[in-house]
A = this chain, B = another copy of it.
Amino acid sequence: MKPIPLAIVEDDPIIRESLRTFLGGDPQFDLLYTAVSIEDFLQALETDARIVPAVILLDIQLPGMSGIEGIPSIKKLRPGVDVIMLTTFEESDKIFAALCAGACSYLSKRVSLVTIRDAILTVHRGGSYMSPSIARKVVEHFIPAPKKDDGPLTQRQQEIVDCIVNGLSYKMTADKLGISLDTVRTHIKHIYQVLEINSKGELIRRSLDKK
């Protein structure tokens, strides 16, 4: 198995050297570059085409451009790279921002060097490793989805709304529900009063937002 080309972007000298010593000394890896900032790293990538890491360990808290902000630029220069975020923070915001930016793994800095090593191997095999507490936050992100209050609408009113939101006209809605056009109008009227809105546009926007 060929060694995995690596890069590290970390400003803290203690952690950086610790990583460099541990990973650089492991024959499974080929540590190509160690940067102290995104700017530094981008510069290196631009000037030296030989730096093509498969995996990057990226600190999230960096002087200048943050790790998250840097991901797009890095991916632009080295599209295939997998990014592992290293961080002391576990705020949901940062986690999701990093994942959305293209990070594929997110580790707390408190984990052991062995765990980091394993995470690199996992990522390089096409997997992903998240610290347990971070994984939990990610998982919980999916749960609030089913939390949608249907508003104070009656069941019938909700049916009307569904039709309208799905693009049906009042007439088509009337046909579909087997009621008269005027009845649909009446329902809409009441719905608008209850929801305190006054146009189909707002109704659609409102319905789409909560889903």
Contact = CB atoms under 8 A, between A and B. Distances in A.
Interface string A165-181: 10101000000000000
A139 interface: yes
A78 to B, nearest CB: 16
A45 interface: no
Q: Is the interface of A mostly helix, strand, loop or mixed?
A: helix
Interface residues of A, number: 38
Nearest to A138: B138
A147 B203 CA distance: 26
A93 interface: no
Interface in A111-137: 122, 125-133, 135-136
Nearest to A96: B142
Nearest to A130: B135
A132 B129 contact: yes
Given A201-B164, A201-B167, A202-B167, A133 B143 contact: no
Nearest to A72: B146
Interface in A144-173: 145-146, 164-165, 167, 169
Contacts of A140: 104
Contacts of A128: 130, 132-133, 135-136, 138-139
B100 A142 contact: yes
Contact of A100 (B125, B129, B135, B146): B146
Interface of A: 96, 99-100, 102-105, 122, 125-133, 135-136, 138-140, 142-143, 145-146, 164-165, 167, 169, 199-202, 204-205, 208-209
Nearest 10 pairs of A and B residues by beta carbon: A127-B132, A128-B135, A128-B136, A99-B142, A122-B132, A208-B208, A128-B139, A100-B142, A127-B133, A204-B204
